Amino acid sequence: MSKPEFVYVTYIETTPQQLWEALTDGDFTERYWFGVRLRSDWKMGSSFEMVHGDGSVSDAGKVVEYDPPKRLAYTFVNLSETYRNDIPALATFELEPHGKLVKLTLTHAGFAEGGKMLPAISKGWPAILSSLKSMLETGRPLEIPRTAIKPEG
C-alpha cells in the first residue's frame, strides 16, 4: 500500500550551499518555481508564504526546520476554496553531498485524509525540482506551462 506522502529524489551537479540558496532565496525561486517567490525570515516558527508576481499569496504555512545547508522543513497549504478541507502538510528537504553532486530528497507528508493537496503537489514538485536542477546545471530554468501540472478532474 502506498503511504499518503510524496517522496522525490534528484541528483544535481552543484554545491549544498548553492542548492540551499536556490531553495530559500525568493530571487532564485521566482526563476524556476512558476514565478513564485518564497517569503520568510526563515526563523523557527516564522510564517512561510508563496508570493506571486501580482503580490497575491497562494500558499502559506510555517518554518519548522532551518539547518543550512542540510535540512529545511516548512508546512504549507493552498489558501483557495478548492483546498478548504486540507491541512498544512510538512515538506522536508534533505541535502546530502554525493561526490561532485548533491542528492536532494524531498519528503512531503501529513496530508488530510481525502484532501486535494497530495495529488496537486505530486504533479507540482517534479516540475519545480526539474526546473531547479536545470537552472543550477545550465543556468536556465525550464519553461513548463502551468497547465502541465494542473491536477486532473
Partner 1 sequence: MIDVDSFTSTTVYTIYIASTPDKVWQALTTAEFSRQYFFGFAVEAKLQVGGAFIVRAPDGSLHIDGEVIACDPPRKLTVTWNVTWPGLVEKLGPTLVTYEIEQAGDAVRLTMIEAHDRPLSEDILEGGRQGWPAILSSLKSLLETGKPLTVKTAPPQRMLAALKAMGIGTP
Residues 84-143 that bind partner 1 (CB under 8 A): 98-101, 126-127, 130-131, 133-134, 137-138, 140, 142-143
DSSP 132: H
The answer to the question of residue 150 lying near partner 1 (CB under 8 A) is: no
How many residues sit in the footprint of partner 1 (CB under 8 A)? Answer: 26
Select 84 or 98, whichever has its Cβ closest to partner 1.
98
User: Does residue number 15 form part of the binding site for partner 1 (CB under 8 A)?
Assistant: no
Binding part of the chain for partner 1, among 65-73, 81-89, 109-117, 144-152 by CB under 8 A, reads 144-152
Q: Which residues contact 101 (CB under 8 A, 6 or more apart)?
A: 11, 12, 13, 14
Helix (H, G, I), strand (E, B) or coil at 16: helix
The beta strand positions in the chain, using DSSP E, are: 5-12, 37-39, 47-51, 57-67, 71-78, 89-98, 101-109
Return the number of the residue (84 or 140) whose C-beta is nearest partner 1: 140
What is the spatial distance between Cα 43 and Cα 33, in angstroms, rounded to a whole number?
Answer: 22
Residues in the site for partner 1, rule: CB under 8 A? 2, 7-13, 98-101, 126-127, 130-131, 133-134, 137-138, 140, 142-145, 148
